[in-house]
Amino acid sequence: MKHTSTWPARMPAVSKVVGRNARRREGPEKLCGVAKYVDDYALPGCLFGATLRSTIACGRIRSVTLDPAFPWHEYVVATADDIPGANYVALIENDQPLLAKDRVRHLMEPILLVAHPVRAKAYAALAHVRVAYEEEAPLLDPEQSKTVFKSFHIERGAIERALADADVVVEGEYHLPHQEQAYIETNGAAAWFEKDGTLVALGSLQCPHYVVKALKAAFGLPEEKLRVVQAVTGGGFGGKEEYPNVICAHAGLLARKASRPVKIIYDRHEDMAATTKRHPAVIRFRSGATRDGRLVAQDVEILMDGGAYVTLSPVVLSRGTLHATGPYDCPNVRIRSRVVMTHTPPNGAFRGFGAPQTLFAAEMQMERLALKLGMDPLAIRRKNAVQAGSTLPMGQTLRESVGARQALEACVERSAYTRRARECARWNRSSKRPSWRGIGLALVHHGAGFTGSGELYLGSRAAVTLTRDGELRVLSGSTEFGQGTTTLFSQIVAETLCVPLELVTVETPDTARVPNSGPTVASRTCMMVGRLLREAALELKAAVTAGKARFPATQPTLKTAARRLCGEAEARRFEAVYRKPDWVSWDDKSYTGDAYEAYSYGAMAIELEIDKATFETAIRGVWIAADIGTVIHPLFAEGQVIGGATQGLGYALLESTVYEGGVMKNARFTDYTIPTTLDTPRMDVVFVPSPYSLGPFGAKGVGELPMDFPAPAVAAAVRHAIGRFVDALPITPERIARALAKDAAA
């Protein structure tokens, strides 16, 4: 198998499914309420599990006592002592206990599990367990933390001299909060043991093979005795990337002890208070430019709060670090970053994965530079935006598929940015107006796939099989949780084989049946796994057509061909394995090289209005342009962009996590506000594809990009409206009031 560097210029004549809005493959089941999410499975004899959690942020566990008057014989109880393997959640570092035994390091940390046939009774039992602690003072301020989980230092050019020589230098300090993924289906899993001793976990999850790894460590079972199946999953956004490891293992522990299936479904409060969030960050930034607006120096210091355990913090920090200077050319760069421990529930994956934090800071620096130079924010971006041939801080020279400028221009044109900017300024000149108006721009990039050598380590696999009965089946570990994975994969395979979409089915991600395609994260599913599927399909095609006939495009002819191909076998399977493109080079030690094969680019313009009496913000218009390469499914891509941008607008304006004593106090939908229909503006979305030669049909990634641009665009618009920078999110009326008051006081 080898990478073809260009796709056939002429698209296949028969199917023509790429670029069209195919019906969502699993849509009808979801629309009729028959799609089965984990809590919809009625498992015979099933018990319900509940988790006893730490009520202190830091300290020693002196004792755990079960109330002797309570009818424990009705219950199954599991503690750390019931773990047959190792007591840790296997991920990057194995520092997080599955169940705390001697010490707790954050509030809500799991200590003990109970199960009962009646769900409410399982929860009620928790009140009858007493935990005695020796409490210690928790460390809650990341600035004070000496425990560094990971740090990076990237340097290019001569930063100090460049700052000294720059015509203008601006400084900023940015504070980014926790953000809750707020998938509408809470985390949950079920587990049971088969007669042959196989542990099966069924869950709401993004990464079934991650769970296999975690179960392997916790249960000491070989992989062939572990099976992880994805139930229909009600949203993830990163929040079901690593946390399901914990829940699946907990359910497995109880199931092992009970010899019955056990289901654990978190309620909303538990899910919000105990599971991962977006990493809070403090970013200190100095930027220098020449008088005519050319960027000459970018000096960034990033501090992220990892919470109590490492989880995915090193890779979140990595992505944040690598995106920290935005999609701009700059010869002198220094990025120093670290993620540290605090006694709070671990932070983890959330759409964007570190980049929304750092790109916010990078874009606000562009605003500050523009202001200081007396330049239009559009002009400074036009002057510095990357193009083919530009070099990023880690030394990656962009070879192709660089649509930053096209995205910026399309966004500016569709929003009539220049006219609106003038109109806002005119509106604000009159003090009689009841509001201030502003328009803001943001331009971002987002790398698709794992960082650096990550894809090589993953060694992802994906396969297409043809059964004797003529069924084409996609086998991959990539999961569907709303993005459209199933439909997209069908399209890519159908297009490659020139068959109607209906002839292709996609296997449920079940680790007993599908190869490990790597995790469903990092905007990698379409570009990375889609590419593997195209390669596998091309092999299948070659085997069927044997260089002569056209690939059969109807069910009967496919069946005939399948009989011929399979002979006596049930099916023939064609598997593709990730191979690093020759030109990609990355050095983990120096952290230099080609960090990502390709980047997607996005620009947003947003016009808003701030009430002078209440400081409430109302959005007047949103325009988005994105280069995600070839658009495989325009409707789904638009859905990703609008949905992601809505989460970004929540991050920018609404979503306030209140932490007290080391835990989220407003852990419910009543108090943690995510955007409703009335908070969400209509959005104008346009795609400006710069196809990537190694993406399937030229596609790149789309999932995370739209999370990156709303916050800086909003903050830029707020600055334009009120003439003050608000450098902390979310930009609530209170923050706007403070920004105005601070200025009045000064």
Partner 1 sequence: MRVTFTVNGKRRSHAGTGMKRLLDVLREDLSLPGTKEGCGEGECGACTVLLDGEAVVSCLIPVAQVSGRRVATVESLGRPDRLNPLQEAFLAEGAAQCGICTPGMLMTASAYLRRGGRADDDAIRRELAGNLCRCTGYQHIVRAVQQATRGGAARRTRARRRV
Residues near partner 1 (CB under 8 A): 21, 23-24, 26-37, 39-40, 42, 181-186, 232-237, 267-268, 481-484, 635-636, 638-639, 642-647, 668-670, 674-678, 680, 682-683
- Render 492-543 in DSSP notation, one character per residue: HHHHHHT--GGGEEE---BTTTS-----S-TT-IIIIIHHHHHHHHHHHHHH
Nearer residue to partner 1 within complex by CB, 285 or 636: 636
Nearer residue to partner 1 within complex by CB, 206 or 287: 206
Tell me the torsion sign for CA atoms 686, 688, 694, 700.
Answer: negative
CB of 604 to partner 1, least distance (A): 13
Q: Six-digit token pair at 738?
A: 């403070």
Nearer residue to partner 1 within complex by CB, 30 or 101: 30
Residue carrying the six token digits 């109607």: 500
Nearer residue to partner 1 within complex by CB, 313 or 646: 646
CB of 34 to partner 1, least distance (A): 6
Nearer residue to partner 1 within complex by CB, 1 or 31: 31
Nearer residue to partner 1 within complex by CB, 25 or 343: 25
CB of 354 to partner 1, least distance (A): 20
Helix axes 733-745 and 710-722, enclosed angle (nearest 10) = 40
Edge-first strand order for the sheet with 472-475 is 504-506, 472-475, 461-467, 571-577
In which region does residue 282 sit, left (phi positive, over 0), alpha (psi from -120 to 50) or beta (all else)? beta
Identify the three-state secondary structure at position 73.
Answer: helix
CB of 239 to partner 1, least distance (A): 10
Q: Six-digit token pair at 432?
A: 């009689």
Nearer residue to partner 1 within complex by CB, 182 or 739: 182
CB of 272 to partner 1, least distance (A): 10
Nearer residue to partner 1 within complex by CB, 89 or 625: 625
Nearer residue to partner 1 within complex by CB, 36 or 161: 36
How many C-beta atoms surround the C-beta of residue 524 within 10 A? 28
- Render 256-281 in DSSP notation, one character per residue: HHHTS-EEEE--HHHHHHHS--PPPE
Report the amino acid identity of residue 299.
Answer: D
Nearer residue to partner 1 within complex by CB, 350 or 436: 350
Nearer residue to partner 1 within complex by CB, 336 or 668: 668
The span from the CA of 490 to the CA of 278, in Å, is 32
Q: Six-digit token pair at 485?
A: 């994975």
CB of 487 to partner 1, least distance (A): 10
Identify the three-state secondary structure at position 16.
Answer: coil
Query: What is the CA 75 to chain-centroid distance, rounded?
Result: 38
Nearer residue to partner 1 within complex by CB, 101 or 269: 269
Q: Which residues contact 572 (CB under 8 A, 6 or more apart)?
A: 465, 466, 540, 543, 565, 566
Nearer residue to partner 1 within complex by CB, 52 or 645: 645
Residue carrying the six token digits 């425990």: 147
CB of 635 to partner 1, least distance (A): 4
Q: Which residues contact 114 (CB under 8 A, 6 or more apart)?
A: 49, 50, 52, 75, 76, 77, 78, 122, 125, 126, 129, 254
Backbone angles phi, psi at 50, to 5 degrees: -135, 155
CB of 236 to partner 1, least distance (A): 8
The span from the CA of 423 to the CA of 438, in Å, is 9
Residue carrying the six token digits 């598997």: 575
In contact, 336 and 301? CB cutoff 8 Å: yes
Nearer residue to partner 1 within complex by CB, 186 or 415: 186
Identify the three-state secondary structure at position 470.
Answer: coil
Nearer residue to partner 1 within complex by CB, 42 or 745: 42
Q: Six-digit token pair at 227?
A: 């099976």
Residue 687 sits at the vertex; the CA angle it makes with 366 and 696, to the nearest 5 degrees, is: 110
- For residue 130, list its beta bridge partners: 65
Q: Which residues contact 198 (CB under 8 A, 6 or more apart)?
A: 224, 225, 226, 227
CB of 219 to partner 1, least distance (A): 29
How many C-beta atoms surround the C-beta of residue 18 within 10 A? 22
CB of 264 to partner 1, least distance (A): 14
The span from the CA of 111 to the CA of 64, in Å, is 9
- Render 275-327 in DSSP notation, one character per residue: S--PPPEEEEEEEEE-TTS-EEEEEEEEEEEEESS-TTHHHHHHHHHHTTT-S
